[in-house]
Structure 1
């Protein structure tokens, strides 16, 4: 899936310290959604080149700060590239979390399906009929069977689900399981819930 990704370094003039220095932030933007990281660096406002996102000049401190900002940029780009390679969900917050060493919880289809069915089971007799729960349990079993048959795994991460997965599942229901069209569509509808 195509998306936009940018990293911009900027200074926050509202946070000028007693020495007249302003902190430098990195703004990560993915598809218009932002997350910001404090770089820990600060500079006098007049020495900041907003167009370049760097400190002006050739002084040692300017070269040092610019090298550090370049390191941050490379790390953020590396995280973005890794998320693409692993077919993960890409968001500004996810990139920020990984940058700070936090793990991003990857949910799986069967995990979410199990959770849904447990919640539904607790509502049988109130909001749901026993037959409805049984139908969802059947869909759960059939989807797990399809994943094993088609992908050779016991489960898939949600980030791996796409239109192709749904069309392959529909084809599997109609051919391998020999389900009628209406039954297949009902199973797909239950899965989408």
Structure 2
């Protein structure tokens, strides 16, 4: 038939990307007319079957890629049929334009971002924190600024969101906006989640992030040494508010409780067992995961110290997070600690110095920190050289005289 539609895919071998993959191109043929387009996907050359025009094998990468190509082909045929029904004819170029979402009435990129943000707002207080929702708004704000700066446009179609676009946005955030690597990863991650929602809503048929990886930095745990913790405990301070902040920091360092959970801590969250052990039984505000912590002597003394100084319901009166961290930076200076001290360091301190370094199993620490997976706890785990030295001396003592090398 003279107007039969054919869709095929091929590789652009000359354009090898940083990750070693090459772009996948599409070709639409109607009769003797032909138009090409970017599939906005890429693949390793070794994984591509030229004859089948699909990825080889049944790996997750190959399966996901082939599924995306199939969705593109279906979308192209749908666009073609709609054009035929509306106009009676269709050229390959018209099909490309319709498929890429540039035709009138198609969902725009920033328009969908606004719609997605409104959906996130409706989830706040149910299964999403207001802070997380705000992070989406900020990510979309930078996306809007990037489109204005680079393309001088107020809006853009989803068809423009390909690997190259994402790479340029990543570069814009790092170089022009001078964001740190992990901040860039966070912003790109929010855009990626929005795109997944767009795929679910059938706004687009492929995932432009399928081969993209935004490089972050491996951050070191923000913990203290045992000596630094003792300095904070014993160094005289200058004003009452700093003593309060120090005490709250120490309470967290000896319980692992986060700032937001400590602010929310109530006397009703405390329980005393038959053996006299006082426990905290509560849920993380951040994740909703339960955590259960038996209290050591110092946290109990701090509870008694501030009893009667609050509204009667909450255990401690708290300053804002910003003021608390400002006081902690000053406390670090007064203690001669050359670190940018923040409240979250106390939680790391509990994991590394107070528990893991003293032989408490990671599974137990994970439960007390309220982590849903032990993977999260490993981020907090920073065993000191003193602990390694102590453990190896104990090992040397245990195996002494048990192993002998002949002729030595």
TM-score by length of 2: 0.24
Higher relative contact order, chain-length normalized (CA < 8 Å, sep 6+): 1
| Bigger radius of gyration among the two | 2
